Amino acid sequence: MVMPEPSERLRPAVIAYWVVSDGLSAAFFGGLAWFVGRPLLAEHWRHWSPWLDDALLACVVFVLALAFVVPPLAFLRWRYGFRDDLLLMRYGILFVEERAVPVARMQHVDLLRGPIERLFGLATLIVFTAGNEGSAFRVPGLSVRRAQELRDRIVQARGDGRL
Is the domain of 48 the same as that of 100?
Answer: no
Domain that holds residue 107: 79-158
Instruction: Quote the CA–CA distance of 162 and 152 in Å, as a whole number.
Output: 12
pLDDT tens for 37-59 read 889 888 888 888 888 889 999 99
Is the domain of 94 the same as that of 138?
Answer: yes
Instruction: Quote the CA–CA distance of 81 and 7 in Å, as a whole number.
Output: 6
- Going by pLDDT thresholds of 50, 70 and 90, the confidence category of residue 4 is confident
Mutual orientation of helices 50-77 and 13-32 as an angle, nearest 10°?
160
The total number of structural domains in the chain stands at: 2
Instruction: Quote the CA–CA distance of 163 and 159 in Å, as a whole number.
Output: 9
Is the domain of 52 the same as that of 117?
Answer: no
SS3 assignment, position 81: strand
Domain-embedded: residue 131: yes
Domain-embedded: residue 1: no
Is the domain of 20 the same as that of 43?
Answer: yes
pLDDT tens for 79-129 read 999 887 888 999 999 999 998 888 888 888 999 999 999 999 999 999 988
Please give the model's pTM, rounded to 2 decimal places.
0.86
Do β-strands 122-129 and 136-143 pair in parallel, antiparallel, or remain unpaired? antiparallel
